[in-house]
Chain A
């Protein structure tokens, strides 16, 4: 089966490329954009224009129907790549246009072109160029671990890049294109003034990775300080060459002690990968229905007010640190894990403190609910706050708690208290290492009080799966690595438990039947 080449980059007329060198005045200038017939693939070199949906001097918006062309057996609808005014129609109905030939001239606002392309482009932080902005190549199980300043992600519902857009890229062209960097025109202007190449910043602290003025300032001061280091005194350089002794901070020393004690726990490991494809197709729906108290920015636009007669029951308001706009896989994995834990009492058990002392037979205490701890890596250290009774929470509620916990963890000094980290801890710990690195296997470590098992969740990635059909199919898989306390759990028990978990993850519709 031949894979047809994808559309080539639409070339921009030279009139537009000059905007980089315009004098720094921000008054909007109008530019005439020559809209050319793009390569529509299939080896077609020319098309007949059948119909124009606009006429000269019409105002059009991006994605408005522009014209219809015909090539042998195919009828193609072309939509406008810009907002603007149709200045001139170059190829009339009934005439033939060659690929690359101008179809019409559209007058565009220069600033609109800039911000328009900023909004229509993929954030440059996605390292893999997407053939279509809708198809994602990798998704991340997101944990708001503060270690990562810039969370690598694709915007959940990306504004689609118009295939005719000059910034639309096919995989054959390299992704590093300074025009792909998101920044408002005023920020670009500031960058030009400061002689900073935006391509070097790649992404910034603004929404969706937009570069803000402060990112440019930070970049400049970073450059300045690295320059300073280079020109440091000989003494400083000499000092940098010697061994340095560093004391362990409180949290790191706490980790040291806990890990030393963990040596008394016999660990065994078990790894597998879960198929997230069903969850992947659920995620858009779940995201578009995040309850208002978790996501107040998304206001419902119902013309009829459900509370007109009587106030609809509204849940208690939620602090801003617990609000979220985007659901990821982690809360869903936690929910399904909690469900499996309810079916497996041994995963809700912990060694009764003090019961193993003095040679007496140890006992296990089984909790009625699933307490799950989350490994949180912050600038101040590694913590494991607990989500108590995870089975009683909805997926949205779990997402909210995760957000809140990571907010607290990110504070300096750490705002996590015994409220979030009770002495009795949890019975299962979850470590979302996939947010940090694209590892394939992990061997997490259990600490005393950390429960009977710990699971490290990797990074979701699309793979070609030939296990279910001869032809194979594309599935989204995520690796999970378990370590468990062999004093409490048998290998077969853990394996069977993980299969219970998988049965929820890979068939999430079961949650509907069980009333979640």
Chain B
């Protein structure tokens, strides 16, 4: 049973900025925007020399890496159908699916002592302490019997670095598969592609494992590794803490178009469709979520030019200002469907 205290922060003398003072935080909020913003606040404001641990769970959502292409990674239609949001996080790496059967850990350390292998070992020891024969693969992911139970990502900024990751305990793996299956092979992105692997839940290997037992094990392992004796501090998005400007701004930024879509790296998407009058091939070139160019072969039209400068996946019919005659209308309907973000 974990004992914990209410949040306690101090105001430093130099300014009236509130800074975190604990070494271990547990968030009971399942709002991914809050959890990611809180994590970022801890990252930027905790004492630089001290190691810090944060554990949290999110309500179902898809989380893509900092520099990924959501159109390539997220199955928007499936997500829309199940009312599951997707979020772009601040650390690098690939796409993961979060739900309440998945527990996220985040270990923050000074940049100069950051060692991915060491932080992965902290979590591995916790999993092993629960009686599961797990291992770490060459990408520092925790696996059991050749299947991934955890995915990791890192963020490094001046002075500080963190390793955070997921741990599948009782996640709905079939939902995970649906949402992350996109199949847009003809979309070529400059960003980081996800490395797909077969996954498994820890619950498959032990009856003891649950969010709470996993959290306790990670807390113990973290304390042992870094010589920390603090008791965990429990946080929720309804606390006063959540009103800190930095966290509020973060929570507002994450779902904004500029962050979610506007951070998409350059990509090119080539699609082809057969219409009654012939084939049409569209070659779309976009960057930062905005269409740079769209060339159409098989249709003589101003449609391609009209799309330049528009937000990919968010173009309204009225915006085009092009006279839609029969063929153009059909082609536009097809393009619109292909680009759709279902938002």
Contacts and interface: CB of A to CB of B under 8 A. Distances in A.
Interface in B113-158: 114-118, 121, 139, 152-158
A134 B48 CA distance: 9
Contacts of B266: 93-94
B313 interface: no
B111 interface: yes
A471 B228 CA distance: 12
Interface string A14-40: 000000000000000000000000001
A145 B124 CA distance: 52
B49 interface: yes
B93 interface: yes
Contacts of B265: 50, 93-94
A473 B224 CA distance: 10
The secondary structure that dominates the A interface is loop
Interface stretch (A1-9, A254-262, A328-336, A410-418): A1-9
A76 B156 contact: yes
B112 interface: yes
B14 interface: yes
Interface residues of B, number: 41
B273 interface: no
Interface stretch (A65-73, A121-129, A194-202): A65-73
B116 A71 contact: no
Contacts of A72: 92-93, 139, 192
A365 interface: no
Contacts of B13: 288-289
B154 A163 contact: no
A79 interface: yes
A70 B153 CA distance: 11
A70 B157 contact: no
B110 A134 contact: yes
B281 interface: no
Contacts of B245: none
A134 B157 contact: no
A131 B192 CA distance: 32
Contact of B153 (A74, A289, A473): A74
A2 B91 CA distance: 24
A162 B158 contact: yes
A163 B158 contact: yes
A73 B67 contact: no
B158 A79 contact: yes
Nearest to B117: A2
B227 A471 contact: yes
Given A2-B115, A74-B154, A94-B266, A160 B159 contact: yes
A253 interface: no
Contacts of B49: 134-135
A73 B159 contact: no
B152 A73 contact: yes
Given A50-B66, A471-B227, A75 B155 contact: yes
A48 interface: yes
B94 A73 contact: yes
A132 interface: yes
B115 A1 contact: yes
Contacts of B77: none
Contacts of B192: 48, 70, 72
Nearest to A1: B118
Contacts of A75: 65-67, 90-93, 153-156
Nearest to A162: B158
B190 interface: yes
B48 A50 contact: no
A149 interface: no
Interface string A161-201: 01100000000000000000000000000000000000000
A219 interface: no
A1 B121 contact: yes
A42 interface: yes
B198 to A, nearest CB: 19
Nearest to B165: A73
Contacts of A76: 155-157
Interface string B1-32: 00000000000111000000000000000000
Interface of B: 12-14, 48-49, 65-67, 90-94, 110-112, 114-118, 121, 139, 152-159, 190-192, 224-225, 227, 263, 265-266, 287
Given A75-B93, A134-B110, 18 more contacts: A2-B115, A4-B114, A6-B112, A50-B66, A73-B92, A74-B93, A75-B90, A75-B92, A75-B153, A75-B156, A76-B155, A94-B265, A94-B287, A134-B49, A163-B112, A288-B12, A471-B224, A471-B225
29 contacts: A1-B117, A1-B121, A42-B116, A48-B191, A50-B265, A51-B263, A70-B67, A70-B92, A70-B192, A71-B92, A72-B139, A72-B192, A73-B152, A74-B92, A75-B92, A77-B155, A77-B157, A79-B157, A94-B266, A94-B287, A131-B112, A132-B112, A134-B49, A134-B110, A135-B49, A163-B158, A289-B13, A469-B224, A474-B227
Closest 8 CB pairs of A and B: A75-B92, A74-B154, A73-B93, A77-B157, A473-B227, A76-B156, A132-B112, A94-B190
